[in-house]
């Protein structure tokens, strides 16, 4: 006769570390079969600020601060645009006892330079705002990215309106009459390509996402990958 291949049943008198011991109450520390007796127990994480970053309330406050700061930066953008943008020369004349205004240089590219100046300044402000936000808050987050985009759009709109307000008057006929016939004066500051208003938010969004992907904090590896596989006995049960 041959011996059976089935292993014999475990004895009733077992030690606390016997792999055949049935699991105990998981809520009782140190009880036989309790995972807390042989494995480290994880401490509860703080719900307000843990490994995943600050809570939603803190992220919303940070988003509001970023939006307001971007809007304030829009004031500086408007002033710089008004100061650095090229002037479009106009000339007034009287035709049939009526005042008319026309471009002094019909082939000039000053109008294109006005749009280009705004676009370049807006891109620079977007890059700087994204860099500052990343350095202050490396982990990022959806509210922060949304605040950068919305704040950049608000800042661009504010800079556009502020630059036109600082610039020459919109009433070109009254301006021509004031300076006199044949005298060159500057046209009102206006933005021909309205797509330039998206330069700040797009630049801020792309730069911030790129910085977060390259230099942002990485998620920690799972515990089982750091500690290796759990040792088991010949029957496949974990050992103490």
Bridge partners (DSSP) listed for residue 86: none
Q: Are 208 and 133 in contact (CB under 8 A)?
A: yes
How far apart CA 153 and CA 124 sit, in angstroms, is 14
pLDDT in tens, 145-192: 999 999 999 999 999 999 999 888 888 788 877 888 878 888 889 898
Q: Are 158 and 70 in contact (CB under 8 A)?
A: no
Residues 215-229 have a mean pLDDT of 62
pLDDT at 118: 96
Q: Are 163 and 189 in contact (CB under 8 A)?
A: yes
- Residue 50 banded pLDDT, cuts 50, 70, 90: very low
pLDDT at 65 over 90: yes
pLDDT at 46: 44
A 10 A CB-CB count for 141 gives 19
Q: Which tops the pLDDT comparison, 156 or 38?
A: 156
Q: Which tops the pLDDT comparison, 108 or 155?
A: 155
Of 90-94, 182-186, 231-235, minimum mean pLDDT range: 231-235
Q: Which tops the pLDDT comparison, 61 or 38?
A: 61
CB contact set of 149 (below 8 Å; sequence gap of 6+): 201, 204, 205
pLDDT at 45 over 80: no
Q: Are strands 49-50 and 53-54 parallel, antiparallel or unpaired?
A: antiparallel
pLDDT at 12: 57
Quickly tell me which residue has 């402000």 as its tokens.
Answer: 125
- Residue 111 banded pLDDT, cuts 50, 70, 90: confident
């Amino acid at each position: 006769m041959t011996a059976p291949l089935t292993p014999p049943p475990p004895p009733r008198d077992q030690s606390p570390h016997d792999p055949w011991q049935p699991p105990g109450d998981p809520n009782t520390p140190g009880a036989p079969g309790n995972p807390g007796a042989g494995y480290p127990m994880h401490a509860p994480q703080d719900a307000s600020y843990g490994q995943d970053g600050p809570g939603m309330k803190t992220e919303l406050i940070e988003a509001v601060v970023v939006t307001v700061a971007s809007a304030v930066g829009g004031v500086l953008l408007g002033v710089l645009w008004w100061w650095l943008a090229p002037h479009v020369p106009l000339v007034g004349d009287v035709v049939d006892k009526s005042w008319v205004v026309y471009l002094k240089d019909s082939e000039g590219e000053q109008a294109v330079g006005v749009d280009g100046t705004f676009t370049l300044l807006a891109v620079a402000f977007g890059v700087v705002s994204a860099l500052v936000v990343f350095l202050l808050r490396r982990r990022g987050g959806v509210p922060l990215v949304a605040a950068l985009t919305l704040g950049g759009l608000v800042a661009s709109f504010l800079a556009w309106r502020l630059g036109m307000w600082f610039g020459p008057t919109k009433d070109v006929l009254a301006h021509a009459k004031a300076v006199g016939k044949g005298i060159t004066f500057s046209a009102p500051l206006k933005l021909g390509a309205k797509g330039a208003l998206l330069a700040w938010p797009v630049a801020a969004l792309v730069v911030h996402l790129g910085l977060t992907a390259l230099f942002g904090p990485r998620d920690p590896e799972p515990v089982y990958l750091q500690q290796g596989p759990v040792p088991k006995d010949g029957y496949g049960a974990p050992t103490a």
